[in-house]
Structure 1
Amino acid sequence: MTSSGIPLDAGALMSAVLEGILYGFSGLMFMGTIWSLTYKQHTRNISRPIVAVAILLFILSTTHVVVCVIRVEDGLVKYRNTYPGGPVAFFADTSQKTYIIKQALYILQTLLADGVVIYRCYVVWQSVWVIILPSMLWCSIVVTGIHAVYGASQYNTSAFDQGLATWVIGFFISTIAANVLSSGLLAYRIWAIERDVATIRASTKGNMMPIIRVLMDAAILYSMALVTTLICFLSSSNGEYVMVDLVMPIISISFYMVLIRVAINRNHSYLSTVGMTAEAEQGNLQKHPVEPLQVYIPIYAQ
């Protein structure tokens, strides 16, 4: 397929600038996330896995920005007059190490973020059957992503080459479906629990609605970025290169915005009810049919 749209050298510079802006915003949200998860919290009450995931997302985003800057410097300065075809040909070459590293980082970021959402679906639903389809989609992301990166590393070709296009399209469709399905299941389960609790005690009505709203906002933000990237790819637009770079900080931003909202809502998310309790530190949702207990819904998702 023949690409169209903005020149690749201009697109590389544009993506570096825009990604840097979004990365700065995600960096601020990362600091806010760590603060909200640890401020005035006893060590044993801090969710170490979630803190670890937040840090990993930040590390991946930071590394991606650094590689992006190196790639721009290589294409526009270092190899400007020595690479056959000039900067445009350099940025079109998918076998370049910087291109492969960037795409590998993007796939790792996607797998990490989508994996967390799927895991939280299991935590809230406490059913393996619910996450079977999302897990299959996650495996599809692994297969299509690895094959796309490997294929790109073997040939000096365009990302729109027919040999790569099938795998790239499969990757985007899989991650869009996994994100929409997992986020939808998560939000529905929280809404269902909140509705049941509200029927028992009217004063609890609406306590979890802010989390449901931010979950959907994060899912919409991430999904729209992916859909835009897919549309650019299907139309063979060079804007796809820009959008892929922008999706990296968007993944982190959508993840952090949920964590911050959950932390803000922490003191209001303990609901008095009959027959339910959740042990947040253990990540297990358990039901007890006799004693009036508290329910805490542990939601940390993208």
Structure 2
Amino acid sequence: MVSLSGIPMDAAAVMSSVLEGILYGFSVLMCLGTVWTFTYKRHMQDVNRPIAVVAALLFVLSTTHIIVVIIHLEHGLVDYRDTFPGGPVAFFADVTQNTFVIKNAIYTLQTLLGDGVVIYRCYIVWQSVWVIILPCIMWCGVAASGVCSVYYFSQASVAEIENFFGSRIGHWVATFLASTLATNMLSTGLLAYRIWTIERKVSAVCTTKRKVPVLRVLIDAAVLYSAALGSSIICFALWNDGLYVMGDLIVPIVSIAFYMVFIRIATSQNNQHYLSTVRGGTTETERGKLQQHPMQPLIHRPNDSNFSLGDSPKVETHPFA
């Protein structure tokens, strides 16, 4: 059995495992960087617990996923190479294998966690439940389609395995990919728009502009994740088995996108605080403010009685948490 892309399924499995291992290595390094930003010159009570929990969950899920992928690869190429009907190619095409179902269940959980973080950030910045009602509904759609796809993987018939893209399994997978892409883009768009409007109002009255590239960080992370999802959707539209490869790669990409946002914002803020502290031209007033607020928020309301942001929230030092 050869895939529509001309690449045997066993070769695709090896390719996805190697590429995921590389991305997993990057995610581990970035996870260590996140831990460093948590602990560097800080007490345990100052640690942002919600972000610490999310970072730990992302690491656990991505680590578990790559372990299951390695076991799946070992089963197909070693344990059942000579006993499975059709050999390794047929084994890796069989979506009912326990290891295949488990790794896709982990992928679903990783996606739900990543999308949930973006929605949570959106709520923190907007400080309004009404804004996230639609993203939350869409997130529930992602959860439903993900659960259904994993269930139908485990219950797939021989005909559905041979005609994966045209079967109900393929339809659920396409729904899952499209819904998570739409949810992520909508939530990121709302988040970026809110930050942009607040920064524009603040910069209109501030004598100096802050150089924290919040929007750029968010956009970079969104582009990275959206590119991976878009590639998966294109593979599905072309009935290309590269979809299996992209499915494994998205798991570490979700972790990388989260760590990237946190590290870049936290590092930028720490650098700004350091420069403001050691700069020779810093005035006594500025030094007094720095002593009172050693980690200034990304966006703050200026002391101007004629200026008002209404109920605009502050974006705190920890990124959106």
How does the TM-score come out when normalised to structure 1? 0.89
2:228 matches 1:225: yes
Aligned twin of 1:69: 70
1:105 maps to a residue whose letter is I
**Which of these residues, 245, 249, 253, is aligned with residue 242 of structure 1?**
245
2:32 matches 1:4: no
Aligned twin of 1:110: 111
Cα separation, partners in 2 of 1:49 and 1:207, compared to 1, 3 Å: same
1:245 maps to a residue whose letter is D
Aligned twin of 2:171: 166
Aligned twin of 1:196: 201
CA offset at residue 275 of structure 1? Answer: 7.1
CA offset at residue 4 of structure 1? Answer: 0.6
**Which of these residues, 168, 183, 189, is aligned with residue 184 of structure 1?**
189
Aligned twin of 2:319: 299
Aligned twin of 2:211: 207
Asked if the contact 2:107/2:251 (under 8 Å) is kept, the reply is yes
For residues 287 and 42 of structure 1, what CA distance do their matches in structure 2 show?
31
For residues 42 and 311 of structure 2, what CA distance do their matches in structure 1 show?
26
CA offset at residue 195 of structure 1? Answer: 1.1
CA offset at residue 131 of structure 1? Answer: 0.7
Aligned twin of 1:281: none
Cα separation, partners in 2 of 1:190 and 1:71, compared to 1, 3 Å: same
Q: 1:9-158, aligned counterparts within 5 Å?
A: 9-156=10-157, 157-158=160-161
Aligned twin of 2:268: 265
1:151 maps to a residue whose letter is Y
Task: Give 1 or 2: higher strand fraction.
Answer: 1
Cα separation, partners in 2 of 1:100 and 1:83, compared to 1, 3 Å: same
| Moved beyond 6 Å, runs of 4+ | none
SS in 1 for 2:301: strand
CA-to-aligned-CA distance 1:126-159 (integer Å, 9 cap, x gap): 1112111111110010110000110110124434
CA offset at residue 207 of structure 1? Answer: 3.1
Asked if the contact 1:3/1:236 (under 8 Å) is kept, the reply is no
CA offset at residue 297 of structure 1? Answer: 6.1
Asked if the contact 1:75/1:87 (under 8 Å) is kept, the reply is yes
Asked if the contact 2:3/2:9 (under 8 Å) is kept, the reply is no
2:249 maps to a residue whose letter is L
For residues 156 and 243 of structure 2, what CA distance do their matches in structure 1 show?
19
For residues 66 and 316 of structure 2, what CA distance do their matches in structure 1 show?
37
1:221 maps to a residue whose letter is L
How does the TM-score come out when normalised to structure 2? 0.84
**Which of these residues, 246, 252, 256, is aligned with residue 255 of structure 2?**
252
Cα separation, partners in 2 of 1:124 and 1:110, compared to 1, 3 Å: same
Which one is further off, 31-40 or 219-228? 31-40
Cα separation, partners in 2 of 1:84 and 1:264, compared to 1, 3 Å: same
User: Which segments of 5 or more consecutive residues in structure 1 lack a partner in the other structure?
Assistant: 277-284, 289-293
**Root-mean-square deviation over aligned CA pairs:** 2.2
Cα separation, partners in 2 of 1:29 and 1:248, compared to 1, 3 Å: same
State how many pairs are aligned.
285
SS in 2 for 1:202: coil
For residues 56 and 137 of structure 1, what CA distance do their matches in structure 2 show?
22
Cα separation, partners in 2 of 1:286 and 1:80, compared to 1, 3 Å: farther
**Percent identical across equivalent pairs?**
55
For residues 118 and 296 of structure 1, what CA distance do their matches in structure 2 show?
17
